[in-house]
């Protein structure tokens, strides 16, 4: 699959793809793909407020997968999207493997370009633990979805696990065509005056520049496995500039995801594209793909300590 830009707009940050068409100066031509909002089999109202809370260099969110259900997305929303300028990826969510399968089956019979599997959803049959935190559970979800669709599958990996590289290997073996690295980290905010959690769901996903160093490391770790199989990575987590994007690309990402930055700079993508082009020109690099996984070995000076 060829993208017109290395930038992918991340699920949950642009609704179902129509929100940013109302922003003056924004163009779908600035992005290679848009990941639609997380979609479940049946409609969901989402979590109680508060759902979003700003943090230093980031944001906590606990939306709770509010969406109209996969039938409404396929029948009412997808036909309204302008697919002439960019690609659209679905984001499949579920509380059981059977729900993931049904969502993927419905998207398989649609014009969507690919399906991202949000394996960070809670597994209700296992006490609410996340599918994405355990390689066995992640692989089971990917394998089941692989049987339900011929669309390209992107496994969105959770950072809230012990060995993300092993999880990546299992997802690839189960049939993932690409990997998205990383999903949000779990966090919490407390109102010190009331001594109560700020978020209605108590905990939420932390995104934004605060998590970028972690996301870069996880991208590099996953790349060590993905490159063996020729599997591309969408690197994501706190990207707000071309320099941020280049860190992920050098660590092994083929494309980069932008999300939280759009909340305070809706035109960030245009600036990132321009910065990437300028970097290539200045360093006489022919293609952005020449930088993928180009991290040089670290060196340690003799006598260094601490």
* Residues forming the active site: 121
| Alpha-carbon gap, residue 99 to 79, rounded angstroms | 23
Contact 146, 174 (CB under 8 A): yes
Beta strands in 103-243 (DSSP E): 114-118, 122-123, 129-130, 153-157, 178-181, 185-188, 190-191, 196-197, 203-207, 233-236
**Residues 6 or more apart whose Cβ sits within 8 Å of residue 152:** 1, 113, 114, 115, 177, 178
Contact 62, 51 (CB under 8 A): yes
What is the distance, to the nearest Å, from the Cα of residue 131 to the centroid of all Cα atoms in its chain?
16
| Alpha-carbon gap, residue 105 to 4, rounded angstroms | 27
Q: Which residue is associated with the tokens 């922003």?
A: 23
Tokens for 5, please give them: 């830009």
The helix/strand count (H/E) of the chain reads as 7, 16
Helices 242-251 and 212-229, axial angle in degrees (round to 10): 40
What is the distance, to the nearest Å, from the Cα of residue 174 to the centroid of all Cα atoms in its chain?
19
What's the half-sphere exposure (Cβ side, CA atoms, 13 Å) at 82? 9
Tokens for 259, please give them: 């999300």
């Amino acid at each position: 699959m060829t993208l017109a830009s290395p930038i992918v707009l991340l699920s949950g940050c642009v609704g179902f793809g129509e929100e940013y068409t109302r922003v003056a100066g924004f163009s779908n031509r600035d992005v290679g793909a848009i990941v639609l909002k997380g979609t479940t089999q049946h409609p969901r109202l989402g979590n109680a407020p508060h759902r979003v809370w700003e943090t230093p260099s980031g944001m906590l969110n606990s939306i709770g997968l509010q969406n109209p259900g996969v039938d409404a997305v396929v029948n009412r929303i997808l036909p309204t999207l302008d697919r002439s300028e960019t690609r659209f990826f679905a984001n499949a969510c579920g509380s059981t493997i059977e729900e993931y399968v049904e969502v993927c089956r419905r998207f398989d019979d649609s014009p969507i370009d690919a399906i991202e599997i949000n394996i960070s959803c809670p597994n209700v049959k296992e006490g609410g633990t996340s599918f994405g935190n355990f390689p066995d559970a992640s692989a089971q979800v990917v394998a089941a979805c692989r049987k339900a669709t011929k669309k390209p599958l992107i496994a969105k990996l959770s950072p809230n696990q012990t060995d993300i590289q092993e999880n990546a290997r299992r997802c690839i073996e189960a049939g993932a065509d690409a990997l998205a690295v990383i999903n949000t980290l779990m966090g919490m905010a407390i109102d010190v005056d009331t001594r109560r959690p700020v978020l209605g769901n108590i905990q939420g996903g932390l995104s934004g520049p605060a998590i970028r160093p972690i996301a870069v490391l996880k991208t590099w770790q996953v790349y060590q496995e993905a490159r063996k199989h020729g599997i591309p990575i969408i690197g994501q987590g706190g990207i707000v500039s071309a320099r941020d994007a280049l860190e992920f690309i050098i660590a092994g990402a083929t494309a980069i995801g932008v999300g939280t930055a759009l909340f305070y700079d809706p035109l960030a993508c245009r600036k990132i594209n321009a910065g990437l082009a300028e970097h290539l020109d200045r360093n006489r690099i022919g293609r952005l793909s020449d930088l993928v996984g180009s991290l040089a070995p670290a060196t340690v000076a003799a006598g260094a300590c601490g």
